[in-house]
């Protein structure tokens, strides 16, 4: 039975993970996402669904535990924030290289370095361009609401297993800490499916299974790379998600994702009230990026304006999508500062209308 | 005389079933091959080939997954005990082992080693200690002996500036989660047979969920020690064994 | 009297490390004059004193020796 609840983002995420039949969570505490493991421990998931929850000695260990569990064909989840996600990059590269499924949550905080525990979107480039070494991509989902957080947990595992690729849910402390009404899906049973690529013990009459990202011969490594690239083209073809607001008559386009998109949307409404025909695209997948719709709208609008809680990261992908057709400008606050609708509107007027 | 003994009913010793047909890439006389074989024989004897999952490290034995005919994963450098933890926690009824060298286990992976042991993960950690980085060409390892030469300690390991050789097996034996820690070698038939018995014991303890078992194999590196295999074994007896004495370090009470 | 034994050596897999020679109590094994396809001299039998103790096979890192013994 579907269930309506008022829940904090981080807790809703974990309730969704339990209900999605996740087999294992390995993580390490870091603000602003420690509620995730706390919630799981409090829920006593081993009793509730049999889900394993372990506090690892480090984020490095946690992601490698994920690698082990994922290698056995299990639904494995970890979460962290900026500094911890940096530590996980090694493991993510191996997971992508070995083509294993897993889901990683990044509740982004401001950086660089230890930075601030306040919300930020400054890990965009790290997330969408791979993050670790080598040619690989994460599928990146960016929820803007607690409800999307819940829905994306389920979706993330579907995509991770469909493509045998790590999926990241890129969120921040605003969504993680805020309480919203959320509709929870029904408890799903934990999967007992066996995969031929998974190490679960050599089967009689079958070759032993090897999970590795190592290729000593260049021609074999290139083959792996070509296979990964073909997979990413499929992902780009099939999995792009975005929401569009007021684009039919738009003369200007706002582009903004995650928590920041909610504020940008308010700025868009204020702009409309002032007579500017502004529309908005909110990418829900950051990789694959909704480049096609933005490119199409660039034929219609006079300018594109990105608003991010960083110093202009997604704007690079917007510029690639617009491909020089119209001016692209960026407005950002960072370091944990959150832009107000007023300052977004002011920035838009200054950059596009003439102040 | 000259009766032909070579027929199936007379067979007394052959390559383990838990080893593949693949030729090993190790240098002539390297202990890795024998250590692989002893572990594979222990798996054969316990009849757990289909129940065993192994983890290869980064180092000379990075390709160990080609040789063990069991399901295998290749881990990032030093992370094998964390990978093993992930596997064992989701498949607690399987036998899980890591196979790691000294650089992998006692330098870059020290935290993973210690914490897996401290949690008492029900895994077998196989630790090959030859006091040198073989794969990368003979650099100093955490277990390189005092005054021992390597490409990064060309005048011998200077304790004052390069630190001390690390007795990691003794260190993890102190942890409550470690159930069994023992040190062996595979350079003679008798020693190799003892090593196999230690592997079997460790796997039997794993079945009983007793905690982490660590079997150290003090081994040679003829290529990077720049000796013949026979010389390297002699050097090992004279230099490695006094500092890394063979025998049980921690046995069940 | 000890039982009679025999060994079969896969010479193409042998790397000529000589550890089997040192381990044989009967001095059955020695190095060949010839080399295999990999360029290694390989272990060969030089007498028929083998007792099938399997010491050589146990220390062989490359698993090239199979051992037989009369029943």
Give residue-wise pLDDT tens across range A163-191.
Answer: 999 999 999 999 999 999 999 999 999 99
What six digits make up the tokens of B51?
A: 């129940």
What is the topology classification, in CATH, of domain A3-192+199-203+224-238? Rossmann fold (3.40.50)
Reply yes or no on whether the pLDDT at A355 is more than 60.
no
How close does chain B come to A200, measured CA to CA in Å? Answer: 7
What six digits make up the tokens of A141?
A: 């989902």
Please indicate, yes or no, if residue B112 is contained in any of the structural domains.
yes
**How many structural domains comprise chain B?**
1
Of A74, A90, A212, which has the smallest distance from its Cβ to B90's Cβ?
A: A74
- Looking at every residue in chain A, the average pLDDT score rounds to 97
Residue A24 host element (H or E)? strand A24-27
Across the range A235-241, mean pLDDT stands at: 98
Name the CATH code of domain A242-353 (choices 3.40.50.1970, 3.40.50.720, 3.40.50.920, 1.10.1040.50): 3.40.50.920
- Looking at every residue in chain B, the average pLDDT score rounds to 97
Tell me, yes or no, if C31 comes closer than 8 A to chain B by beta carbon: no
Pairing of strands A76-80, A139-141: unpaired
Please indicate, yes or no, if residue B15 is contained in any of the structural domains.
no
Q: Where are the beta strands (DSSP E) in chain B?
A: 11-13, 52-56, 71-74, 95-101, 124-129, 132-133, 139-140, 178-185, 212-218, 247-250
B71–A61 C-beta distance less than 8 A = no
Across the range B110-135, mean pLDDT stands at: 97
pLDDT tens digits for range A19-53: 999 999 999 999 999 999 999 999 999 999 999 99
Reply yes or no on whether the pLDDT at B170 is more than 90.
yes
A208–B69 C-beta distance less than 8 A = yes
The rounded distance, in Å, linking the Cα atoms of A141 and A152 is 7
Question: Contact B24/B33 with Cβ under 8 angstroms?
Answer: yes
Residue C27 host element (H or E)? none
In percent, how much of chain A has pLDDT > 90?
Answer: 99
Across the range A76-95, mean pLDDT stands at: 98
Of C6, C55, C57, which has the smallest distance from its Cβ to B6's Cβ?
A: C6
pLDDT band at B241 (very low <50, low <70, confident <90, very high): very high
Across the range C16-36, mean pLDDT stands at: 97
Whole domain around residue B175: which residue ranges?
26-250
pLDDT band at C2 (very low <50, low <70, confident <90, very high): confident
The rounded distance, in Å, linking the Cα atoms of A110 and A99 is 30
Contacts of B71 in chain A (CB under 8 A): 199-202, 208-210
CA-nearest residue to B13 within chain C is C67
> How far is CA B9 from its chain centroid?
33
pLDDT at residue number B3: 74
pLDDT tens digits for range A257-293: 999 999 999 999 999 999 999 999 999 999 999 999 9
pLDDT band at C1 (very low <50, low <70, confident <90, very high): low
How close does chain B come to A95, measured CA to CA in Å? Answer: 10
Question: Contact A56/A72 with Cβ under 8 angstroms?
Answer: no
Tell me, yes or no, if C2 comes closer than 8 A to chain B by beta carbon: no
Which of C5, C54, C62 would you mutate first to test chain B, the one with the most B CBs within 10 A?
A: C62
The rounded distance, in Å, linking the Cα atoms of B215 and A75 is 31
pLDDT band at B103 (very low <50, low <70, confident <90, very high): very high
pLDDT at residue number B1: 45
pLDDT at residue number B2: 56
pLDDT at residue number C3: 86
B83–A71 C-beta distance less than 8 A = yes
pLDDT tens digits for range B27-79: 999 999 999 999 999 999 999 999 999 999 999 999 999 999 999 999 999 99
Reply yes or no on whether the pLDDT at C24 is more than 90.
yes
C61–B37 C-beta distance less than 8 A = yes
Q: What is the DSSP letter of B106?
A: I
Of A65, A209, A210, which has the smallest distance from its Cβ to B86's Cβ?
A: A65
ipTM of the complex: 0.97
How close does chain B come to C41, measured CA to CA in Å? Answer: 11
First to last CA, chain B: 54
Please indicate, yes or no, if residue B238 is contained in any of the structural domains.
yes
- Per-domain boundaries in chain A: 3-192+199-203+224-238, 242-353
pLDDT band at B111 (very low <50, low <70, confident <90, very high): very high
Across the range B135-150, mean pLDDT stands at: 97
Say which CATH number the domain at B187 has: 3.40.50.970
What is the topology classification, in CATH, of domain C5-69? Alpha-Beta Plaits (3.30.70)
Tell me, yes or no, if B34 comes closer than 8 A to chain C by beta carbon: yes
pLDDT tens digits for range A296-309: 999 999 999 999 99
pLDDT tens digits for range B177-194: 999 999 999 999 999 999
Contacts of B233 in chain C (CB under 8 A): 19
How close does chain B come to C20, measured CA to CA in Å? Answer: 9
Reply yes or no on whether the pLDDT at A13 is more than 90.
yes
């Amino acid at each position: 039975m579907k269930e309506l609840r008022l829940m904090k983002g981080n807790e809703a995420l974990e309730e969704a993970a339990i209900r999605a039949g996740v087999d294992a969570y390995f993580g390490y505490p870091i603000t602003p996402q420690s509620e995730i493991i706390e919630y799981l421990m409090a829920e006593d998931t081993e009793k509730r669904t049999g889900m394993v929850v372990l506090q690892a000695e480090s984020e490095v260990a946690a992601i490698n535990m994920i690698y082990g569990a994922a290698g056995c064909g299990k639904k494995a989840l970890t979460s962290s924030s900026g500094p911890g996600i940096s530590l996980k990059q090694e493991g993510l590269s191996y997971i992508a290289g070995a083509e294993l499924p897993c889901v990683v949550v990044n509740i982004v905080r401001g950086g660089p370095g230890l930075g601030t525990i306040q919300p930020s979107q400054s890990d965009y480039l790290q997330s969408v361009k791979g993050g670790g070494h080598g040619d690989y991509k994460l599928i990146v989902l960016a929820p803007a609401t607690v409800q999307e957080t819940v829905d994306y947990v389920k979706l993330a595992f579907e995509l991770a297993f469909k493509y045998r690729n790590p999926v990241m849910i890129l969120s921040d402390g605003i969504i993680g800490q805020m309480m919203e009404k959320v509709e929870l899906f029904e408890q799903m049973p934990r999967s007992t499916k066996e995969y031929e690529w998974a190490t679960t013990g050599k089967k009689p009459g079958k070759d032993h299974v090897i999970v590795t990202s190592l290729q000593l011969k260049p021609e074999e490594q290139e083959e792996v790379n070509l296979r990964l690239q073909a997979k990413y083209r499929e992902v780009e073809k099939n999995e792009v998600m975005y929401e569009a607001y007021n684009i039919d008559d738009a003369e200007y386009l706002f582009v903004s994702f995650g928590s920041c998109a909610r504020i940008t949307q308010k700025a868009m409404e204020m702009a409309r009230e002032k007579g500017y025909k502004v529309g908005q695209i909110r990418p829900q997948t950051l990789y694959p990026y909704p480049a096609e719709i933005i490119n199409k709208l660039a034929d219609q609008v006079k300018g594109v304006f990105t608003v991010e809680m960083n110093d202009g990261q997604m704007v690079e992908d917007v510029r690639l999508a617009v491909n020089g057709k119209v001016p692209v400008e960026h407005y950002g606050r960072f370091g944990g500062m959150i832009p107000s609708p007023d300052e977004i509107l002011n920035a838009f007027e200054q950059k596009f209308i003439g102040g | 005389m000259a009766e032909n003994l070579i027929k199936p009913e007379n067979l007394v010793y052959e390559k383990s079933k838990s080893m593949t047909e693949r030729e090993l890439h190790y240098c002539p006389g390297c202990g890795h091959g024998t250590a692989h074989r002893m572990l594979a024989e222990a798996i054969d004897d316990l009849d757990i080939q289909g129940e065993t999952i192994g983890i290869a490290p980064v180092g000379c034995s990075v390709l160990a997954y080609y040789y063990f005919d069991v399901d295998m994963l290749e881990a990032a450098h030093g992370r094998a005990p964390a990978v093993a933890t992930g596997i064992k926690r989701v498949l607690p009824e399987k036998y899980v082992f890591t196979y790691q060298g000294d650089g992998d286990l006692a330098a870059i992976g020290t935290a993973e080693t210690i914490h897996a042991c401290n949690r008492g993960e029900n895994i077998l950690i196989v630790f090959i200690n030859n006091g040198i980085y073989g794969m990368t060409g003979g650099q100093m390892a955490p277990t390189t002996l005092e005054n021992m030469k390597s490409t990064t300690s060309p005048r011998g390991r200077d304790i004052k500036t390069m630190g001390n050789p690390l007795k990691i097996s003794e260190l993890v034996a102190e942890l409550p989660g470690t159930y069994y820690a023992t040190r062996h070698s595979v350079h003679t038939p008798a020693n190799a047979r003892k090593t196999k018995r230690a592997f079997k014991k460790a796997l039997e303890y794993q079945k009983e969920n007793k905690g982490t078992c660590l079997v150290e194999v003090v081994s040679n590196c003829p290529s990077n020690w720049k000796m013949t295999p026979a010389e390297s074994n002699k050097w090992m007896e004279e230099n490695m064994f006094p500092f890394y004495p063979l025998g049980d370090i921690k046995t069940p009470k | 009297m000890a039982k009679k034994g025999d060994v079969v050596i896969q010479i193409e897999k042998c790397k000529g490390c000589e550890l089997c020679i040192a381990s044989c109590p009967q001095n059955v094994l020695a190095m060949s004059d010839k080399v295999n396809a990999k360029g290694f001299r390989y272990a060969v039998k030089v007498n028929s004193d083998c007792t099938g103790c399997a010491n050589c096979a146990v220390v062989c890192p490359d698993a090239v020796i199979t051992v037989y013994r009369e029943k």
